[in-house]
Structure 1
């Protein structure tokens, strides 16, 4: 088969407004070229499509939409939206179809153009996908883990890197730090990966990846743009996806923020009627049919352009949507309105994403009635500040009440950026580390993600990722991704003890949030016939001690603001 396989396709006709006295305009797909020489499983497969059609806005799917509709080797349908690469209405234009097939074998189907609500199919499209050793996309598998397409278990370990450095930061004490250009995706992804991390939560907003924002603020990385989508944001997002792949980092892409519907951001929001948008008020953003249709077209473009990448692990519809609800005057936006919008958008996103990756959203600290129960929201999130000790109980409570995975999308000792963190730096550092350890021993597929990435970089807190990674990988190897709660019994000065069993290996955590060391005894579970092989891992240093089994309990001293992990594996030991 020719490396650049090209089909001659049937001419397609779509109903378009006719010019009086002239023949009706005929929309046509003139050719499709498979650019990818040898399609492989879970790797991008690209098609170039040449067509002629008329539109006012090529991103408006009610005017024109191009889709590759396939049947996978298993018989499952695979629908892939296309996006305009370049070209003008009424003239020959180039569109791109890009996706990463999750199955190997024969794919067949049709390219479809839809104009003015009418579908017409092309000649058949067929291609073979070779097997590969790639892991593929992530999918939920219970409250503790995700799994890749190849079955490998995954727990995300990382932090928020919500945006790159701004040109006008609003921190009272750390403006110079936060404006340092070293805080960019290339540098930070590299540092995280080198330290053992693999997961990042990042935002689209007026100052970062401002896809739909005509006016940008507080940034010299992006430019204002009068088009439907901001070209500087598109260019940078292309780079971000590449950087994530090269560094081995997986992204939770936050598509909108509660702040976008408040104050100055709402004043420049492209959905605001004063800026030519369809929404007279923030509540109209959620309820107005034209606003909802426009948002779906935005989702369609995002999936079409970047949905091919397994390194986009999850779509997050909103950051802290409750802040948008409660920040309105004179009355807040009703829960039912926000829940209905999320149900509609998450279902649509699932329907157009060939990979069917997880969809999520987040609240700051207020629950939204019905939000956690939406079937097409795969996991929910909340943010925890000034209460890191509560992470284990919050995660367990929401997993029980929702029957879904739950994630702490942000946490830290302090949320108030007007305070000087250096006044309580030891507490900030301790919370940064302890949140990860408490999350590791709690039911969540993505460990709690700290905020203030610039501050903790300046304090060189990176080593914690490698230390948590060592124990996390140990857990996944021992149980193949299976976790069971194990009772942890601590007797002594105030500490929090947690336990999990992965296969036949038991992991016990003793967490000390106090400013001084704590001592006590940790109860051990009954030993198997061959006894326990016992190790103690020191989270503050990364040191691992081999100990003789000491019977029913173990005496421990836990440093201030730190953690100790006890690992018990069946092996030579005294038994108890």
Structure 2
């Protein structure tokens, strides 16, 4: 008995010593619900040189889920001095119902220094949240709760800059209204659910000191820029309120010495150990502060990394170094992200050997300009070759911002429309995303997303995310078909300058009774289709009328018994 008491006393002392540097742990949210953020303040006293460098000091939240899953969540430094009380935060989003256990651990110089004892928290149902998005198959993502998802939207890569470099649209692009508070509600109101945005020197510049070309940010010598951190926090809240999901392009950050970084060139960025460690610390901070957000659909490492590769004429960066960097960083990001967000990166048009085959890059991506017609072929080609989801992260009729788009505005609009439909009828979880968001806003093109979203929702509901290609022929008009569950969808495009009377042949036998409707994406009007016949070879629809440069969707629904 005395031995047991003595052992307990020693254990008690060890626990007290281990917890001595933790002054207070406070859960600052009153409701603990599934897929909702739980924020915890940790007040501690410890010495450090730089609290943003994990090789100096790191605070983690060790978590045991109700099912027994072990997780390690990075936490982030907020304020306070070395040797005095400081404030740190954990932002955690539970993905299971029931009782969680958690404790906090301090690591110094990569060695365990202190930890708290375990505490418990009970998570109840939120009733309205779906959780985080994850790669599922070639056509869809899926939420934690199993609901299928396809992204419909556009690039909204930055808020307006103080000085825009467009020759003809400088005044338009510099309008202060082009901020997230205007652009994102506009996207959501028109049926969009997805967008892509950048972290760079003029937008969300968390590790840049000055020179933003954007008066929303203030110069600072802090390790991470306070005005950029506040803007990023606000963006997460806005996304959540609008039920929007985004691809966050992380970029290289301020890696160059002239920007406050550690290396002299992009080539060094990919291979120097000090640059890679700095980037890992940046990733850790991003996951710690914003990884909780279910609105982050995907982390994108680079925008058009092939353009970085060939950015210095005559001194191309070794492609193998770029691939090795992506392999290392994607594996690292997966190791510190307890939510398993989707990872991607993008090229402009030049493939880098090996990049599309990396294990921890979940979705491959390229950008297509001046060639929108090849989108279906390219998506299918890459999906078949690499057996991985493929996304067209940017597309457009024209990439050259020195041209006056008003000279060919209708062609720009046409490309905007058909790119979306090409994606909807192709195996991609995110429909191709247009560039030139200010220009298309001025032409009210976002309203066109409403019809695309309607059909996409019908597809997902009909097949619970299942898609099957269906061969379709429509003479001189373009035609694409898919089967979702037992419902067939056909997209028709008259890309010719003359109107056309179209005969549609769906080359798959359709059993039983069914109803047929046409849908006009411009007017959002559905009409019954009466003139049709079926046979062993499929279904024929006669005398459909399509105006020049217009599209139509045919929906074939089995009758209820």
Both structures adopt the same fold (TM-score exceeding 0.5): yes
Report deviation, 1:276.
4.8
Residue in 1 aligned with 2:536?
none
1:517 is aligned to 499
Equivalent of 1:182, from 177, 183, 191?
177
User: Where does residue 60 of structure 2 map in the other structure?
Assistant: 67
Alignment-derived partner of residue 218 in structure 1: 213
Secondary structure, in 3 states, of the residue corresponding to 1:50?
A: strand
Match of 1:488 among 467, 472, 479: 472
In 1, Cα distance between equivalents of 2:175 and 2:89:
37
- Select the residue among 149, 161, 177 that pairs with 2:144: 149
Task: Using the TM superposition, name which of 113-122 and 468-477 deviates more.
Answer: 113-122
Tell me which residue corresponds to 1:261. none
Instruction: Provide the C-alpha distance between the structure 1 equivalents of 2:223 and 2:76, rounded to a whole number of angstroms.
Output: 13
| Corresponding residue SS for 1:520 | strand
SS in 2 for 1:462: helix
Q: Note if 1:542 corresponds to 2:537.
A: no
Q: Does 1:562 align with 2:512?
A: no
Q: Using the alignment, how far apart are the partners of 2:496 and 2:441 within structure 1?
A: 23
**Structure 1: 5+ residue stretches without partners:** 1-7, 14-26, 258-268
Q: Quick check: 1:490–1:522 contact (8 Å CA) kept in 2?
A: yes
Q: CA deviation at 1:117?
A: 1.9
Q: Do structure 1's residue 29 and structure 2's residue 15 form an aligned pair?
A: no
Superimposed CA distance per residue, residues 220-239 of structure 1 (whole angstroms, 9 cap, x where no aligned partner): 11122212111111010011
Q: Which residue among 211, 226, 232 is the counterpart of 1:231?
A: 226
Q: 1:255 to 1:515 in 2, by over 3 A?
A: farther
Give the C-alpha shift of residue 57 in structure 1.
1.6
Structure 2: distance between partners of 1:73 and 1:518: 61
Shift of 1:90: 1.4
2:482 is aligned to 500
Question: Equivalent residue for 2:92?
Answer: 99
CA shift for structure 1 position 125: 2.3
Residues 134 and 342 of structure 2 are in contact (CA less than 8 Å); yes or no, is this contact kept in structure 1? yes
Cα offset for 1:572?
8.5
Pairing partner for 2:293 from 309, 323, 335: 309
* Alpha-carbon shift at residue 53 of structure 1 (Å): 1.5
Match among 29, 35, 47 for residue 42 of structure 1: 35
Which residue does 1:475 correspond to in 2? 459
Hey, what does 1:262 align to over in structure 2?
none
Give the Cα separation in 1 of the matches to 2:134 and 2:560: 38
Equivalences for residues 149-548 of structure 1 within 5 A: 149-256=144-251, 270-491=254-475, 493=476, 495-526=477-508, 528-548=510-530
| Change beyond 3 A, Cα 1:430–1:274 | closer
Aligned counterparts of 2:228 and 2:183: Cα–Cα separation in 1 = 19
Unaligned runs of 5+ in 2: 1-13, 534-538
Distance 2:260 2:401 in 1: 34
Corresponding residue for residue 131 of structure 1:
125
Deviations 1:347-367 (A, max 9, x none): 111111121110111011111
> Taking structure 1 as reference, are residues 524 and 549 closer, same or farther at Cα in structure 2, changes over 3 Å only?
farther
Q: Per-residue deviation at 1:524?
A: 2.6
Name the CA shift for 1:224/1:514 in 2 (closer, same or farther; >3 Å).
farther
Deviation at 1:74, TM superposition (A): 1.4
TM-superposed CA distance for 1:154, in Å, is 0.7
Point out the more displaced range, 115-124 or 231-240. 115-124
Deviation at 1:395, TM superposition (A): 0.7
1:529 and 1:36 map into 2 onto residues whose CA distance is: 55
Partners of 2:540 and 2:479 lie apart in 1 by 13
Question: Are the counterparts in 2 of residues 99 and 354 from structure 1 also a CA contact under 8 Å?
Answer: no
- Label 1:83 to 1:63 Cα distance change in 2 as closer, same or farther (>3 A): same
For the residues of structure 1 that align with 2:546 and 2:326, how far apart are their CA atoms?
44
1:288, distance to aligned residue in structure 2 (A):
0.6
Distance 1:270 1:540, change over 3 A: closer
Deviation sequence 1:220-279 (CA, Å, 0-9, x none)? 11122212111111010011111111111111110116xxxxxxxxxxx73223455321
Q: Secondary structure at the match of 1:111?
A: strand
C-alpha deviations, 1:301-334, integer Å up to 9, x for none?
A: 1111111110111111110111000112432011
Deviation, structure 1 residue 496: 2.1
Change (3 A) 1:105 1:534: same
| Native 8 Å contact 1:36 1:46 kept in 2 | yes
Distance in 1 (alpha carbons) for counterparts of 2:201 and 2:192:
27
In 2, Cα distance between the equivalents of 1:289 and 1:28?
A: 32
Deviation at 1:529, TM superposition (A): 4.2
Q: Distance in 1 between matches of 2:514 and 2:502?
A: 21
Determine the structure 1 residue equivalent to 2:3: none
Q: Is 1:53 the equivalent of 2:46? A: yes
Secondary structure, aligned partner of 2:118? strand
> Deviations along 1:539-562, whole A, 9 cap, x unmatched?
232221111251142233333333
Distance change (3 Å), C-alpha of 1:168 and 1:569: same
In structure 2, C-alpha distance between the alignment counterparts of 1:300 and 1:559, rounded to whole Å:
53
User: Is 2:94 aligned against 1:110?
Assistant: no
Q: 3-state DSSP class of the match of 1:362?
A: coil
